[in-house]
Amino acid sequence: MGEDGPVTEPRTAPRLIATDLDGTLLCSGGTVSDRTAAALAAAEAAGVRVVFVTGRPPRWMQQLSPHIGGHGVAICSNGGAIVDVHRGGELIEYFPMAAETALAVVETLRAKLPGSAFAFEYADGWAREPEYAVPMWGDDEVRAIGPAEELLGPDGPVRGLFKLLVKHPELGPDAFLAEARTAAGHLAEITRSSPISLLEISAPGVTKASTLARWCAEHGIDRSEVVAFGDMPNDLEMLAWAGTAYAVANAHPEVLAAVPLHTVSNEDDGVATVLEDLLRLL
């Protein structure tokens, strides 16, 4: 819904709901409100699949298991991995970045944006450089700490890298994204979802949209049957791909400008508000 009401909305109920998590579906603190939990359960009961499509790594999905529905599938790490949430974030499939590509990104960003520090999400967990400050949720399950060249090297632990993370101590988030894309956007997919200066980098062609499209094709779901929700630049490709897309009111200005349909904020149950209306079409 826009400020003056709906712009254009689906006339039939969707077959799939694709929703981002932090800043979109979840309240502050990463919780699911009672209203949102009820709307998700009602959608699943009505035969509408719900797929979480998030920048979160697989290890941060366990607490959401009750809300994902019977299939248990979530798309994590901005499309880098498909996981079974009911099995503790077990990898179903992932789309790795070649080590030489990752090293090229690291070298390019270090040269163009001195002070950049890197971390690595991969099949067995995550690793980081010493200068990379620990993530917002703590230094959980870190497998190795060392220079990128060692971590990504032939004898290093990083195998099956599906997301490269990079922080900067001085640049603002939007400026960091713009400068990184100018420097290394030809090497990989570079985006952001955090309020801090943290960028998320995937293999070329790997986005939330690409992995969602692949999953939908495997399950016979057309893009016209998908309703998607998001709030940050890492959602833009997915929101453009889906047949119907909504930005929550608290979304990044770029997302609000790109997406005609808006709903209320995550704190006001924006996803649930739309789902309740859509389910009336069944």
Last residue of a domain, one of 202, 234, 255: 202
Around 211, how many Cα atoms within 13 Å sit in the side-chain half-sphere?
30
Is 259 domain-assigned? yes
Q: Please indicate, yes or no, whether residues 86 and 225 belong to a single structural domain of this protein.
A: yes
Q: Please indicate, yes or no, whether residues 150 and 170 belong to a single structural domain of this protein.
A: yes
d(CA 24, CA 16): 17
Q: Which two tokens stand for residue 176?
A: 């960091």
Is 187 domain-assigned? yes
Q: Please indicate, yes or no, whether residues 275 and 235 belong to a single structural domain of this protein.
A: yes
Specify the pLDDT at position 70: 66
Specify the pLDDT at position 69: 67
Q: Please indicate, yes or no, whether residues 190 and 239 belong to a single structural domain of this protein.
A: no
| Structural domain count, the chain | 2
Q: Please indicate, yes or no, whether residues 84 and 216 belong to a single structural domain of this protein.
A: yes
Share of the chain above pLDDT 70, in %: 93
Model confidence at 265: pLDDT above 80: yes
Total residues belonging to the chain: 282
Share of the chain above pLDDT 90, in %: 78
Q: Please indicate, yes or no, whether residues 67 and 156 belong to a single structural domain of this protein.
A: no
Specify the range with the lowest mean pLDDT, choosing from 4-8, 36-40, 44-48, 167-171.
4-8
- Mean pLDDT throughout 65-89? 84
- How many degrees, rounded to 5, is the angle at CA 276 between CA 274 and CA 278? 70
Domain that holds residue 60: 16-94+207-279
> Quick check: 185 and 193 in contact, CB under 8 A?
no
Task: Return the SS3 of 277.
Answer: helix
Q: Please indicate, yes or no, whether residues 108 and 175 belong to a single structural domain of this protein.
A: yes
Specify the pLDDT at position 130: 93
Is 108 domain-assigned? yes
Last residue of a domain, one of 202, 226, 260: 202
Q: Please indicate, yes or no, whether residues 224 and 195 belong to a single structural domain of this protein.
A: no
Write out pLDDT tens, residues 84-117.
888 877 889 999 999 999 999 999 999 999 999 9
Model confidence at 2: pLDDT above 60: no
Write out pLDDT tens, residues 26-51.
998 888 999 999 999 999 999 999 99
Specify the pLDDT at position 6: 42
Contacts of 100 (CB under 8 A, 6+ apart): none
Q: Please indicate, yes or no, whether residues 195 and 211 belong to a single structural domain of this protein.
A: no
- CATH number of the domain where residue 121 is located: 3.30.1240.10
Is 128 domain-assigned? yes
Is 171 domain-assigned? yes
Model confidence at 7: pLDDT above 70: no
Write out pLDDT tens, residues 266-276.
999 999 999 99
- CATH number of the domain where residue 24 is located: 3.40.50.1000
Is 8 domain-assigned? no
- Mean pLDDT throughout 59-82? 83
Alpha carbon separation from 242 to 67, 183, 186, 219 (Å, rounded): 22, 29, 25, 15
**Chain Cα centroid distance, residue 207:** 8
Specify the pLDDT at position 67: 73
Is 156 domain-assigned? yes
The whole-chain average pLDDT of the chain stands at 91
Specify the pLDDT at position 135: 59
Q: Please indicate, yes or no, whether residues 70 and 117 belong to a single structural domain of this protein.
A: no
Of 176, 191, 195, 196, the residue nearest 237 (C-alpha): 191
Q: Which two tokens stand for residue 236?
A: 């833009």
Is 213 domain-assigned? yes
Of 166, 162, 167, 60, the residue nearest 121 (C-alpha): 162
Q: Please indicate, yes or no, whether residues 152 and 214 belong to a single structural domain of this protein.
A: no
Q: Please indicate, yes or no, whether residues 34 and 158 belong to a single structural domain of this protein.
A: no
Last residue of a domain, one of 177, 202, 227: 202
Contacts of 5 (CB under 8 A, 6+ apart): none
Write out pLDDT tens, residues 194-246.
999 999 999 999 999 999 999 999 999 999 999 999 999 999 999 999 999 99
d(CA 118, CA 48): 39
